[in-house]
Amino acid sequence: MNNKEQDNYSNATLDLIKKFIDSNQRKRINSLTQIESEVENIFNLGPSLFDMFDREGDDWAAGWILQVLKKFKPEFFENTKFNNWFNTYSDIDINYEELQLMLVEQKFEDADRLTSSYLRKLAGKLAEKRGYVFYSEVKNMSGKDLETIDR
């Protein structure tokens, strides 16, 4: 493939990604397999592709693309910043990197269990000991941490 053909593929893939980002939820869901089929071109676009996304945001388009890359092109993650691409914040010094990695690796049951443990930690020692959170304990949880978990 010559440079012009490669540029055409890259531009078409970039257009697909931009369309994916700008689409509503339903249209995004309908284009997921198309995004997967472009994984080689997405990989070739490289890390600069993620300049389009907000690391502070909660747009699942970036997460989906990271999941596709992790599944089909794990070498993309030699730059480890993409294992924990979204910025996270905690009032009680919880490190959310393991949760992000589980989500990127699509280990959803493990991520659910870890999230549950984080919520118990946020609720306090009694919730951790008992193994669940009472509704009345939610109001005392860190809003910053709850927002991070939600994102």
Cα separations (Å) of 137 from 30, 90, 101, 123, 142? 39, 18, 28, 6, 11
Q: Confirm or reject CATH 1.25.40.620 for domain 88-151, answering yes or no.
A: yes
Higher pLDDT, 80 or 120: 120
In the chain, where are the structural domains located? 1-87, 88-151
Nearest to 92 by CA among 114, 115, 124, 116: 124
Count of Cβ atoms closer than 10 Å to residue 120 Cβ? 19
23-76 pLDDT, tens per residue?
998 999 999 999 999 999 999 999 999 999 999 988 889 999 999 999 999 999
Nearest to 31 by CA among 73, 68, 5, 4: 68
